[in-house]
Amino acid sequence: MATMRRFRLPHILLICIAAFFYAAALFGNAASKPADRKSSFMVPSTFTNTKVERILDISHPAIARETVTLDVENTGKSATGEYFVAVDVDLECRKLAWLEAYEGKGASRKDWIVEKGALDASNSVQLYKVTFPKPLSPFSHQSFTLYFVWVGLVSNLPKKVAQGEQGSGVYQGALHWVSPYPTTEEKLGVRPSSSEIHSRTPSGSLTSTGLSYGPFRDVAPFSRETLRVHAKLSHVPLRGSILKRKITISHWTGIANVLESWELWHDGAELVQPFSRTDLLIQGRYATPPTMIQHLRFDLPAGAFNGEYRDFDGNVSTSHFSSGRSGATLELRPRYPMFGGWKYQFWFAYDVPLSKSVGIGKDGRYVWKGPVMRGLQNVPVDRLEVEVVLPEGSNSAQIKLPFSADEKTSGREYSYFDTIGRETVGFVKTRVVDEMWKDFEVSYNFPSTAYFRKPFVAIVAVLAAFLGSMAVLRLEFSIGKDSKGEAAEMVRTVGMRVHDIHGKLESLLAKLNVAFEDFKHSHHDVARFEAARADLTAQIQSTLVDLSSVTKSVSGLSGDDSARLEKSAAQLANLWIERLSKVRQAQDEVVALRKKVSASSVDDKTRRQVGERIKKLEVEEEVVAKKAETLVAGV
């Protein structure tokens, strides 16, 4: 028994330790559960959607617009003015571009506040909070409208088409409106891109405008059922991956210059085969291929002028700019036709009078007002970068936007005749659609003295240049005789003369070699050759005399350059004398051999010995010639 107790004690300790860790784990899990519940917001069940009417417009494949008309009832026990809208997390992160809530239509329309709320992780939705103008009492009804704008909901099917074939697109989304509240009655209308519908699930009913679904009764919260519509595309899906707008305001010229840089993508189905210019010409005789983009039209502000257009390869003349009282248009033709998957980069600029866009606010500050963008209709922009460059001297700039920006920017830019630079403000916004083409404002201080800054700088610059030129013209640069400068100039002149003499000697030696070759291969007239050689030798010696006389002109000058030149000229003369001697010796060997051949026969041994001596003299002459060239190069 004692032995058994001795072994049970460690076992009991191990069991106690394991129980302790198990209890700690259970306690930790229990403690973490309330925190997990707090991280996933639960919508209060205070409303019921008594009637929901949805209109889903996918007629333009790049942008989908959804209008939801609601009649809601407060089924809670107390008044509340907060209504939550649910958006799938994936759609909210990548597809949702615009969301607004309003009451009424036309002139009586009143916009409501829409704010991004919490995340409901349990239902995988992002919540948005709509605030009513006043709290809704229990069992009371409220009618209003939600307006969504989505990008990229329609995808190409098939992914690739022939060059002259029309593309098709498929939409796949929710049949029921995803809402955190129960719905009593719901209807859905779908407006596809064309009336040629390949397939639809569920089938629904065909109408004059598209498809109709419902009414659906008693739809549960977060009800998800798939709707799929596959139809021909009547519009080409275009997308701006990045748009950079730069607006430069100048009070001195009274204009605002607008520069827009586009990177435009064709998001339609790609071509099955490589692009064929021949097929395009053939198809163009009958009709423009439905998937091709040849023209682009931009609506610009009224009063715009000085329009210009270029792409990143250079100037493009195929554009037309027109301006009138009601507005201006820029019609341009890209350098090449655009098909699915193709990209085109270009920019255009125009001027707008400041009288139409700049005023003075109640606080005395200048206020510039202009559109966020004016571009291609129904073409979403992935990233919009806007920069406003204010006049030099302005300060305390503030920007007011009609929506929340992803990022606000500021900085300073320098231009011609700027001294302190120009203040810049701007913003960055992703997923920009037509509904965001609203005006924004930039307010800034611009003191009256700043008007005279640039003219003052220009006058000072011209005056400084004038005074500087006067000072330079009045300076006397030739103070006295510069003996060192004259000596250096004399050395340079003599050096050039030495180069010329060396070139003349090379020419005379070449003539001597020509006469010798003529003697060897043609007439074999020794007397004639001797006469020609004597004449050329005399000319060479006369030229060497000229070389000696030229170098004597610098013998009296002081300085290392003159001494080095005189020494180099003397060495050059000696090298030429040695070179001429080697040439004459080689020629004499040939002449003597020719005389022996004429008098009697010459054996092979004698010919071989003469050839060896001639070859040795030619090698020695070549060495001397290289020395002379090296020496002349250093002069």
> Would residue 458 count as lying in a domain?
no
Banded model confidence at residue 238, pLDDT cuts 50, 70, 90? very high
| Least confidently predicted of 11-20, 89-98, 275-284, 480-489 | 11-20
Give the number of other Cβ atoms within 10 Å of residue 155's Cβ: 14
Q: Per the domain annotation, does 277 fall within a domain?
A: yes
Rounded mean pLDDT, 138-162? 95
Residue 69 pLDDT exceeds 70: yes
Q: Is the pLDDT of residue 201 over 70?
A: yes
Please tell me the predicted confidence (pLDDT) of residue 4.
38
CATH of the domain at 522: 1.20.120
Helices first, then strands: H and E counts in the chain: 8, 31
Residue 501 lies in a domain: yes
Residues 183 and 243 in one domain: no
**472 in any annotated domain:** no
Work out how many domains the chain is built from and give that number: 3
E runs forming strands in 137-254: 141-151, 154-156, 160-161, 168-174, 183-191, 197-201, 205-206, 211-219, 226-232, 238-250
Indicate whether 53 and 178 sit together in one domain.
Answer: yes
Q: What's the mean per-residue pLDDT of the chain?
A: 84
* 307: in domain: yes
Residue 340 backbone dihedrals phi, psi, to 5 degrees = -55, 130
Percent of the chain scoring above 70 in pLDDT: 87
With CA atoms as reference, report the closest residue to 222 among 95, 60, 49: 49
The rounded distance, in Å, linking the Cα atoms of 264 and 237 is 11
Query: What is the widest separation between alpha-carbon atoms in the chain?
Result: 146
Q: CA of 475: how far to CAs of 1, 21, 39, 464, 471, in Å?
A: 124, 97, 83, 17, 6
Residue 460 within a domain: no
Do 137 and 263 sit in the same domain of this protein? no
Judged against a pLDDT cut of 50, whether residue 7 lies above it is answered with no
- Model confidence at 412, pLDDT cuts 50, 70, 90, reads very high
Residues 620, 598, single domain; the answer is: yes
Order of strands across the sheet that contains 395-400: 358-360, 366-371, 439-445, 395-400
Mean pLDDT over 41-64 rounds to 93
- Residue 571 pLDDT exceeds 90: no
**Residues ≥6 apart with Cβ < 8 Å to 66:** 54, 55, 56, 57, 147, 148, 149, 150
Question: Around Cβ 166, how many Cβ atoms within 10 Å?
Answer: 17
Domain CATH for 308: 2.60.40.1730
Amino acid at 320: H
pLDDT at 560 over 90: no
DSSP 3-state percent helix, strand, coil across the chain (nearest 5): 35, 35, 25
Q: Give residue 220's pLDDT.
A: 95
Per-residue pLDDT tens digits for 329-341: 888 888 888 999 9
Q: Which of 199, 232, 265 is the last residue of a domain?
A: 232
Average pLDDT estimate for 145-165:
93
Q: What is the structure's pLDDT at 479? A: 60
Burial readout 324-360 (b: 16 or more C-beta within 10 A, e: otherwise): eeeebebebbbeebbbbebebebbbbbbbbbeebbee
**pLDDT, tens digit (0-9, with 9 covering 90-100), for 259-296:** 999 999 999 999 998 888 878 777 665 556 678 888 89
pLDDT for res 44: 86
CA distance 188 to 225: 13
Enumerate the β-bridge partners of residue 442: 368, 399
Cis peptide before 391 (omega within 30 of 0): no
174 shares a domain with 302: no
Residue 599 lies in a domain: yes
What spatial distance separates the first Cα and last Cα of the chain, rounded to whole Å? 119
Nearest to 156 by CA among 271, 55, 287, 242: 271
Q: Is 177 helix (H, G, I), strand (E, B) or coil?
A: coil
Predicted confidence at residue 514, as pLDDT, reads 82
Higher pLDDT: 621 or 30? It is 621
Query: Does position 37 have pLDDT exceeding 50, yes or no?
Result: no
Task: Clarify whether residues 98 and 195 are in a common domain.
Answer: yes
* Token couple for 401: 């936007």
- Looking at residue 29, its pLDDT comes to 43
Cα–Cα distance between 537 and 558 in angstroms, integer? Answer: 35
Residue 163 sits in the same domain as residue 99:
yes
Residue 22 lies in a domain: no
What pLDDT does residue 478 have? 64
Q: What is the mean pLDDT of residues 55-79?
A: 95
Strand pairing report for 154-156 and 381-389: unpaired
Q: Which of 406, 436, 453 is the last residue of a domain?
A: 453
Q: Do 436 and 421 sit in the same domain of this protein?
A: yes
What phi and psi, each to the nearest 5 degrees, are found at residue 235? -125, 150
Least confident of 159-168, 221-230, 598-607: 598-607
Under DSSP, is residue 350 helix (H, G, I), strand (E, B) or coil?
strand
Range of the domain at 325: 238-453
Mean pLDDT confidence for 147-154: 95
Residue that finishes a domain, picked among 203, 232, 261? 232
The answer to whether 373 and 410 are in contact (CB under 8 A) is no
Q: Are residues 550 and 602 in the same domain?
A: yes
Task: Give the mean pLDDT of 530-557.
Answer: 77
In a shared domain, residues 310 and 415: yes
| pLDDT at 151 exceeding the cut of 70 | yes
Q: Compute how many other C-beta atoms are within 10 angstroms of the C-beta atom of residue 89.
A: 15
Q: For residue 523, what pLDDT is reported?
A: 59
Q: Are residues 508 and 626 in the same domain?
A: yes
For residue 133, the one-letter residue type is P
Whether residue 195 is found in the same domain as residue 322: no
